[in-house]
Every structure is written in structure tokens, then in C-alpha cells.
């Protein structure tokens, strides 16, 4: 049993070591020699440890899933969904405890952690609604002949998730995959393995049968074993583009279906007619929220023409933010170094640092970079085109809307793009032209709310469709078509 987390403030608090969850039992890896520490990012000190699993553990988890799926897939969908109705209640009841655990292992502020779990609850609600949405279609296709489509589970499926949303991203996958009747093997990020353990514990308490959800803790060897395993029929991945591309290739090579979401470089286009207050508030919230470690975070502000008043409002708001209170730490010392290097390089290449977070410090030992704004960034600077994944906003200035669209389109990523304007015509032109799967009009973090599916384009996603919503349900199921004729007909066609 994984007990509740006890901290109710940001003070360093220890938690259990990360464990695997196989066939309903908490266990340690079979043959692991390696371990890594789970670091509290605010203090830079260990709060737990992960023993890294290997192929043996994946094999055991798949065997448990295979056995469990036989019974689970026979449960009526309404009964499977009941587990998620109870999970919804459990997440709400334990919201504060789960948010504190998430905040401690990931570093995000308590309010941000709470918002993450609330978004996870929305995903659970979508899973519950499948009892109504997932009715198969049926049609008389020829006289006396009906054709019916039913959604069947695949068997054992798997998910690999990143460090930045340890609670929500698993909930992008589990409700649809499990309500559909599959068994699941989940590999959390080794940097933040603890929230998923509490999630699994709650699912157990909500009546999920043993073996339907299995967790294997670890890194690359576990992911590769999941990709290669012949009995895993589908693999969902969320993480960086480099790994998403490799995982997609390896998983697809074994014939399994794969959907792998990758990194991002999100652009906010601002034109001079934009509403100053709304735009400035929104831009700051988008690039600073979760310390910029969101795949939907604003990264580049493309200012069209004279937007100086809006840029000044963004600068003033950003400069007032208090590190540790308004902005959390980033995920590691290596992240601090990487983010700082992007700022240093842009400055050396001629960008103006109008808000400088490089020397900002929160609690001693933590991984801190304050919000930073770089103005007059040019396409030659790495900050303009590479994913920084920290609280850094690069401002690129262009003469007209065409220049803004051209700049956005030149980037290989395709997760999010937004336009700030009061002109419907400008908004329409941008929405028709940008190369991004999730777009905003006066919205800085254009995450599609349920039931709309989450997924990017181009180098931000490998595989077809979206991870959430109806596409998610289709991804985790196969469609069986049943054609039936019960009586001989006088009229004959080619098929009756």
C-alpha cells in the first residue's frame, strides 16, 4: 500500500522509494543494479529513490496484464467506467495531498499542481462518458443485412510519460485505454515516479482489478523493452521530440500502433490592435507558468509592427514576479545550465535581455532560473528556434503579418500557436496559415479542453490522431465490423 503524502507546505519531506506495481502487488525490480535519486527541485535534495527496472520486469508486467485483460475485457463497459467515476471522487477528495506530492517531486507551485490534477479529472470524466459515446454504429446495409461496428480492446497496451505532468499525462491515456477494456503497463518518468504510485493506489481502492494497471519504473531499457514486446499492441508516448521519434520508429517496427507526442516551440503573434491588459497578462502566464516547462508554454513572441506598449506591459509584469512564490524551480541543475546557456548565447549574439532571471535564487540548493525576456532575437540565435523548456520569452520583431506567419511556419515543431488581436480578419488569416495543431485566439495556452483531442503537428507528434478525446479511444481500440443476415430474402443483391 502506498500511503498518503504528509507534507502540507514546501519543506523538504521524504517519501517511500519508488516501486513497481505488478499484478496488484508493490514490488522491487527483479535484477536491478542501478538506482537514481528523486530530487525535490525546490531544495535540490533527495526525497526518494528509484530502483531502475529492466526487461524482466516488463515481461512480468505484460504477463500480469495479459492474465488480467481476459476477465477485465469481459466486464460491461458501464462497470469498467464505474471504477473511473469512483476515481474522480477520490481525486477530488485527495486533491490537496496529491497536489503537494506532485509539487514536491516536480517542483511546480502548489496552485499549478492542483490545476494539473483538475485537468486530469476532466480526462477521467471523458473516460466515464464513454459509456454513452462508445455505442457502436449499426445500419441495414442491404435488405435484411445489417452491418455493426463495435469497439474491441487490443489486449495489453503501454504508455511512457514525461516529467512535467506526472499526474495529468497518465490520465490522458488511462481512462480511455482501461474503460475500453485493455490492461496497461505504464512507465513514469524516472525523475517523478511518485505521483503515479498514488494514482495506482487510488485506482486499486476504487476497485480496479489486480493486473489491469501495472507500473514499471525505470528509463531507456524499460522503454525499449516495451517497444519490442510482441504482446504489447499499442504504445502511447509523451516526451521530447528526439525520444518520441526514436520510440515511434522502434515501436512501429514491431507492428504495434504508436502515437508519440514530442517537444514544441510555441509562437504568440501580437499585432498592435491587441487588447493590452489581456495580452500582457496572458503572455506572462503562458511563458512563466510551470517555470516554462509545459509543451504548450509560449516561447517566442512575434511582434508585428509597433507593439512596444504591449511589450513594456509584459516586461513590467514579469519583473514583479517573485521567485519561489510566483515561479517554481526547473527540473534539474542541468536544466538551469541549459537555459542559462540559451540566454548567454542570445545576449552574445546581440539580443537585449530586458528581464534577466539568471541570478535569481529561491530556496538554497534549488534549481532556479527567474523569468527572462530576450528582445530583438534573430533567426540565427538558438533561442529563436530550439525548445528551451524554461521561463524564457524570446521577442522577434517583424514588419507585417506575412513575416510573422513565415517565421512561425519555418519552425519544424507544430504544437501551439496563438494570435493576439481584436480583428476577426487577422485572427482568421493566422488560424488558416500557422503550422500548429493547437491554436489560440487571445489565448496563451491553447490546450483543447475535453472532449477535444490533444495533439500537435509536424515534429511535435509522430503517428496519426490525438492522444485524448475520441481519437484516444479509437487509438486504444480496434473496430470489429459484424455483418449479419438472419432470414432468407426474396431480393438478392451481390451480398444477400
Spatial distance between the Cα atoms of 329 and 41, rounded to a whole number of angstroms: 6
Q: Which of 167, 201, 460, 468 binds ligand NAD (CB under 6 A)?
A: 460
Instruction: Report strand pairing: 266-270 vs 298-304.
Output: parallel
Nearer Cβ to ligand NAD, position 178 or 238? 238
Q: Which of 90, 238, 303, 388 binds ligand NAD (CB under 6 A)?
A: 238
Residue whose CB is nearest to ligand NAD in the complex, by number: 239
Q: Is 239 in the site for ligand NAD (CB under 6 A)?
A: yes
Q: Is 163 in the site for ligand NAD (CB under 6 A)?
A: yes
Q: Is 223 in the site for ligand NAD (CB under 6 A)?
A: yes
| Residue 348: CB minimum distance to ligand NAD, A | 25
Span near ligand NAD by CB under 6 A; candidates 29-37, 38-46, 82-90, 260-268: 260-268
Nearer Cβ to ligand NAD, position 421 or 468? 468
Span near ligand NAD by CB under 6 A; candidates 53-61, 217-225, 279-287, 322-330: 217-225
Q: Is 162 in the site for ligand NAD (CB under 6 A)?
A: yes
String of DSSP letters for 116-144: HHHHHHHHHHHHHHHHHHTPPPEEEEETT
Identify the three-state secondary structure at position 20: strand
Q: Which of 47, 156, 243, 300 binds ligand NAD (CB under 6 A)?
A: 243
Handedness of CA 483, 128, 451, 467 (dihedral sign): negative
| Residue 446: CB minimum distance to ligand NAD, A | 13
Q: Which of 377, 355, 115, 161 is closest to 265 using CA atoms? A: 377
Spatial distance between the Cα atoms of 251 and 65, rounded to a whole number of angstroms: 18
Q: Is 166 in the site for ligand NAD (CB under 6 A)?
A: no
Identify the three-state secondary structure at position 375: strand
The residues in 177-196 that bind ligand NAD, with binding defined as CB under 6 A, are: 187, 189-190
Spatial distance between the Cα atoms of 170 and 252, rounded to a whole number of angstroms: 21
Q: Which of 295, 351, 438, 439 binds ligand NAD (CB under 6 A)?
A: 295
CA distances from 420 to 225, 268, 426 (A): 45, 7, 9
Q: Which of 164, 196, 318, 477 binds ligand NAD (CB under 6 A)?
A: 164
Whose cell is 511546480? That residue is 108
The residues in 379-408 that bind ligand NAD, with binding defined as CB under 6 A, are: 387, 389
Q: Return the percent helix, strand and coil in the chain, to nearest 5.
A: 40, 25, 40
Q: DSSP label at 155?
A: S
Spatial distance between the Cα atoms of 376 and 27, rounded to a whole number of angstroms: 53
Spatial distance between the Cα atoms of 64 and 22, rounded to a whole number of angstroms: 7
123 a catalytic residue: no
Q: Is 415 in the site for ligand NAD (CB under 6 A)?
A: yes
Half-sphere exposure of residue 68: CA atoms within 13 angstroms, side-chain side? 24
Spatial distance between the Cα atoms of 168 and 259, rounded to a whole number of angstroms: 17
Span near ligand NAD by CB under 6 A; candidates 144-152, 215-223, 281-289, 370-378: 215-223
Spatial distance between the Cα atoms of 113 and 450, rounded to a whole number of angstroms: 19
Q: Which of 160, 323, 373, 383 binds ligand NAD (CB under 6 A)?
A: 160
| Residue 120: CB minimum distance to ligand NAD, A | 13
Which three cell numbers mark 281? 497578462
Q: Is 261 in the site for ligand NAD (CB under 6 A)?
A: yes
Q: Which of 6, 132, 220, 479 binds ligand NAD (CB under 6 A)?
A: 220
The interface mask with ligand NAD, positions 345-374, x = CB under 6 A, is: ------------------------------
Catalytic position from the list 123, 227, 290, 295: 295
8 A C-beta contact, residue 432 and residue 406:
no
451 cis-preceded (ω within 30 degrees of 0): yes
| Residue 408: CB minimum distance to ligand NAD, A | 17
Spatial distance between the Cα atoms of 358 and 367, rounded to a whole number of angstroms: 11
Nearer Cβ to ligand NAD, position 227 or 307? 227
- H or E segment at 220? helix 220-228
Q: Is 437 in the site for ligand NAD (CB under 6 A)?
A: no
Q: Which of 128, 264, 269, 417 binds ligand NAD (CB under 6 A)?
A: 264
Q: Is 51 in the site for ligand NAD (CB under 6 A)?
A: no
Nearer Cβ to ligand NAD, position 181 or 469? 469
Nearer Cβ to ligand NAD, position 240 or 347? 240
Instruction: Report strand pairing: 298-304 vs 392-398.
Output: parallel
| Residue 296: CB minimum distance to ligand NAD, A | 8
Spatial distance between the Cα atoms of 428 and 46, rounded to a whole number of angstroms: 49
Give the footprint of ligand NAD on this chain (CB under 6 A): 160-165, 187, 189-190, 219-220, 223, 238-240, 243, 246-247, 261-264, 295, 387, 389, 415, 456, 460
Residues with a catalytic annotation lie at 295
Amino acid at each position: 500500500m502506498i500511503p498518503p503524502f504528509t507534507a502540507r507546505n514546501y519543506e523538504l519531506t521524504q517519501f517511500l522509494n519508488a516501486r513497481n506495481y505488478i499484478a496488484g502487488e508493490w514490488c522491487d525490480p527483479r535484477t536491478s543494479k542501478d538506482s537514481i535519486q528523486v530530487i525535490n527541485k525546490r531544495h535540490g535534495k533527495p526525497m526518494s529513490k528509484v530502483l531502475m527496472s529492466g526487461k524482466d520486469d516488463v515481461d512480468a508486467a505484460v504477463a500480469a496484464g495479459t492474465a488480467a485483460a481476459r476477465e477485465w475485457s469481459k466486464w460491461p463497459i458501464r462497470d469498467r467506467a464505474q471504477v473511473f467515476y469512483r476515481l474522480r471522487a477520490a481525486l477530488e477528495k485527495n486533491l490537496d495531498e496529491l497536489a503537494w506530492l506532485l509539487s514536491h517531486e516536480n517542483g511546480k507551485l502548489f496552485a499549478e499542481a492542483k490545476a494539473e490534477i483538475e485537468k486530469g479529472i476532466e480526462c477521467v470524466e471523458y473516460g466515464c462518458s464513454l459509456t454513452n459515446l462508445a455505442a457502436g454504429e449499426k445500419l441495414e446495409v442491404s435488405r435484411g443485412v445489417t452491418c455493426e461496428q463495435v469497439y474491441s480492446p487490443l489486449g495489453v497496451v503501454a504508455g511512457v510519460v514525461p516529467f512535467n505532468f506526472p499526474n495529468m499525462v497518465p490520465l490522458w491515456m488511462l481512462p480511455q485505454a482501461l474503460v475500453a477494456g485493455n490492461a496497461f503497463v505504464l512507465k513514469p518518468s524516472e525523475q517523478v515516479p511518485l505521483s503515479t504510485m498514488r494514482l495506482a493506489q487510488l485506482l486499486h481502492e476504487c476497485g480496479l482489478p489486480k493486473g489491469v494497471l501495472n507500473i514499471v519504473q525505470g528509463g531507456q531499457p524499460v522503454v525499449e523493452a516495451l517497444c519490442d514486446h510482441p504482446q504489447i499492441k499499442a504504445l502511447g508516448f509523451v516526451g521530447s521530440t528526439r525520444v518520441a521519434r526514436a520510440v515511434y520508429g522502434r515501436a512501429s517496427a514491431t507492428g504495434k500502433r504508436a502515437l508519440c507526442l514530442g517537444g514544441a516551440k510555441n509562437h504568440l503573434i501580437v499585432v498592435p490592435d491587441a487588447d493590452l491588459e489581456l495580452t500582457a497578462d496572458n503572455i506572462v502566464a503562458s511563458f512563466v507558468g510551470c517555470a516554462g516547462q509545459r509543451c504548450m508554454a509560449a516561447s517566442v513572441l512575434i511582434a508585428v509592427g509597433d507593439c512596444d506598449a504591449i511589450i513594456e506591459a509584459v516586461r513590467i509584469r514579469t519583473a514583479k514576479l517573485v521567485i519561489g512564490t510566483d515561479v517554481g524551480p526547473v527540473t534539474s541543475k542541468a536544466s538551469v545550465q541549459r537555459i542559462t546557456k540559451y540566454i548567454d548565447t542570445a545576449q552574445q549574439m546581440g539580443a537585449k535581455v530586458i528581464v534577466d532571471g539568471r541570478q535569481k535564487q529561491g530556496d538554497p540548493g534549488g534549481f532556479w532560473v527567474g523569468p527572462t525576456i530576450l528582445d530583438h532575437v534573430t533567426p540565427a540565435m538558438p533561442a529563436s528556434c530550439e525548445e528551451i523548456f524554461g521561463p524564457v520569452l524570446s521577442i522577434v520583431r517583424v514588419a507585417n503579418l506575412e513575416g510573422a506567419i513565415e517565421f512561425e511556419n519555418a519552425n519544424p515543431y507544430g504544437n501551439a500557436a496563438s494570435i493576439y488581436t481584436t480583428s476577426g480578419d487577422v485572427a482568421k488569416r493566422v488560424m488558416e496559415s500557422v503550422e500548429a495543431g493547437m491554436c489560440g485566439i487571445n489565448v496563451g495556452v491553447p490546450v483543447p479542453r475535453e472532449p477535444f483531442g490533444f495533439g500537435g503537428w509536424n515534429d511535435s507528434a509522430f503517428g496519426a490522431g490525438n492522444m485524448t478525446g475520441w481519437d484516444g479511444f479509437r487509438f486504444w481500440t480496434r473496430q470489429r465490423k459484424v455483418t449479419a443476415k438472419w432470414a432468407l430474402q426474396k431480393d438478392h443483391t451481390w451480398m444477400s
